[in-house]
Structure 1
């Protein structure tokens, strides 16, 4: 484990602040989470495809896997979709406010407040883990993957999505013309993510990087969505928030270079979709 900590790529994250920020956004999160929902549904589709492939090699009389986890479940949007995939579904999130919203889904999931880097589960106790756009907030990604590896049973599956380093590059570039700061959360590159997975115990991970392009009539829509889901900058440079009116006006002018022929402003996310099996 000492080797894990020595070589883990990490970013400074105030987890108390992170939990407070996402918790405060919980009640209106879903109204601003169109992108997050699209990514999670794409991941669910992959989960269903792989489950069908597995079922072809199993007896139809077999019951569903015993235990599954939605890691970073947020408001619980995906819990009803996941409930049929196991006998006992768990939902874990760092923010109590998110779990309060998740409890209203009526999914039957057992909800727990906890940290991905210190999972409150016994060794080899889970059949699968689903995690959509949550792992990018970890301070030590390799530690989180080591925990996932620890709690999965041999042959257990991890299905996850996470943001990569080119996410919101347009916003980052526009901010730099204003004050030479990025004001955008920093995420791992694909190679750094692969390294973190390997350190965490997953062998030769094969990952897919996709670009999600969103369109907004004005920059205010993008900024409103980021604030609405609690995803304003949370790592490093905490003092460099979104700024005052004059700076926002300058930001809007700088962002105009990314207006498309159809009149919409482009905002891009680089997303990794991963599906791994524990040896």
Structure 2
């Protein structure tokens, strides 16, 4: 599954930023939790660097970025250097759930990546060892209320659940995982955002390019199934919308 995820995101890397407004919004919200100076930062599942870029204005001395996709990391690194030439940035392509860093960090950050992990709770506990004393961990993901219109459309049109290979992580669960890992003073935040679309196909294409529906274990939909799904995405009032639940948290290592 990890290889399939990496391939999908690498395939869409060149147009990911054109379809990642919601990821940038989550990164902006999470940046509100940042405190200066951040010092040494490790960004887990960095994608094209939305969250890492915000660290530059909060006193980051260096950033190490981890991601499954080389193509995503290339874009992320260039984004950082375009914003701040000669900044100390390193990249590592591979599975963050098995990664062992060679140094300790002041901050662990991760946005819109945990939902793809095989065992998010285990990773949170494992990665806490990467932090220095008094270090901070800030994690963000998408809650179970996300894509509810798409889930309902799949059930209505196809009689099956949405197959997107991700975990639903709400604020309560994220807080529990961080507290179980030993973090202190864990604060959680959440926000509901609703996006509007002109056509169902535009919505589905957007989700494919940002990775939500691109990673599947089932065969692709047949033409009639796709048409039925598009019809089911149109709300009774004629609108086409998609709900997102943004969830993020911050905890301290003591």
Decide: shared fold, TM above 0.5. Answer: yes
Evaluate the alpha carbon distance shift between residue 204 and residue 67 of structure 1 in structure 2; reply closer, same or farther with a 3 A threshold: closer
What residue is the counterpart of 1:182 in the other structure? 161
Q: Say if 1:168 and 1:184, in contact at 8 Å, map to a contact too.
A: no
Q: Give the C-alpha shift of residue 174 in structure 1.
A: 0.7
What residue is the counterpart of 1:31 in the other structure? 18
Tell me whether 1:252 sits opposite 2:239 in the alignment. no
Tell me whether 1:67 sits opposite 2:40 in the alignment. yes
Q: Give the C-alpha shift of residue 17 in structure 1.
A: 0.7
Q: Say if 1:131 and 1:161, in contact at 8 Å, map to a contact too.
A: yes
Tell me whether 1:89 sits opposite 2:68 in the alignment. no
Q: Say if 1:67 and 1:86, in contact at 8 Å, map to a contact too.
A: yes
Q: Give the C-alpha shift of residue 233 in structure 1.
A: 5.3
What residue is the counterpart of 1:40 in the other structure? 27
TM-score scaled to structure 2, two decimals?
A: 0.87
Q: Give the C-alpha shift of residue 121 in structure 1.
A: 1.3
Q: Say if 1:23 and 1:96, in contact at 8 Å, map to a contact too.
A: yes
How far does the alpha carbon of each residue in 1:118-142 deviate from its partner, in whole angstroms, 9 at most, with x for none? 233147x100122111111111011
CA RMSD of aligned residues (A): 2.2
Q: Give the C-alpha shift of residue 234 in structure 1.
A: 3.4
Q: Give the C-alpha shift of residue 29 in structure 1.
A: 0.4
What residue is the counterpart of 1:5 in the other structure? none
> Which runs of 5 or more residues in structure 1 are unaligned?
1-13, 52-63
Q: Give the C-alpha shift of residue 247 in structure 1.
A: 1.1
Q: Distance in 2 between matches of 1:141 and 1:69?
A: 17
Higher strand share: 2
Q: Distance in 1 between matches of 2:174 and 2:38?
A: 28
Q: How many residue pairs get matched? A: 245
How far does the alpha carbon of each residue in 1:179-235 deviate from its partner, in whole angstroms, 9 at most, with x for none? 221224342343433333233332473422221211111111221111112221536
Q: Give the C-alpha shift of residue 178 in structure 1.
A: 1.7
Evaluate the alpha carbon distance shift between residue 26 and residue 245 of structure 1 in structure 2; reply closer, same or farther with a 3 A threshold: same
Evaluate the alpha carbon distance shift between residue 204 and residue 87 of structure 1 in structure 2; reply closer, same or farther with a 3 A threshold: closer
> Quick check: 110-119 or 143-152, which moved more?
110-119
Q: Distance in 1 between matches of 2:141 and 2:46?
A: 13
Q: Secondary structure at the match of 2:189?
A: strand
How far does the alpha carbon of each residue in 1:62-107 deviate from its partner, in whole angstroms, 9 at most, with x for none? xx45411122111123433323522221111111121122232225
TM-score scaled to structure 1, two decimals?
A: 0.80
Q: Say if 1:258 and 1:265, in contact at 8 Å, map to a contact too.
A: no
Identify which of 259, 268, 274 aligns with 2:243: 268
> Which runs of 5 or more residues in structure 2 are unaligned?
none
How far does the alpha carbon of each residue in 1:112-166 deviate from its partner, in whole angstroms, 9 at most, with x for none? 113231233147x100122111111111011210122110112111122101122
Identify which of 211, 220, 233 aligns with 1:230: 211
**Structure-to-structure mapping, 1:101-250, within 5 angstroms:** 101-105=75-79, 106=81, 107=84, 108=87, 109-122=89-102, 125-185=104-164, 186-190=166-170, 191-203=172-184, 205-232=186-213, 234=215, 238-241=217-220, 243-250=221-228
Q: Secondary structure at the match of 1:41?
A: helix
Q: Distance in 2 between matches of 1:27 and 1:37?
A: 16
Q: Distance in 2 between matches of 1:73 and 1:34?
A: 15
Q: Distance in 1 between matches of 2:139 and 2:251?
A: 9
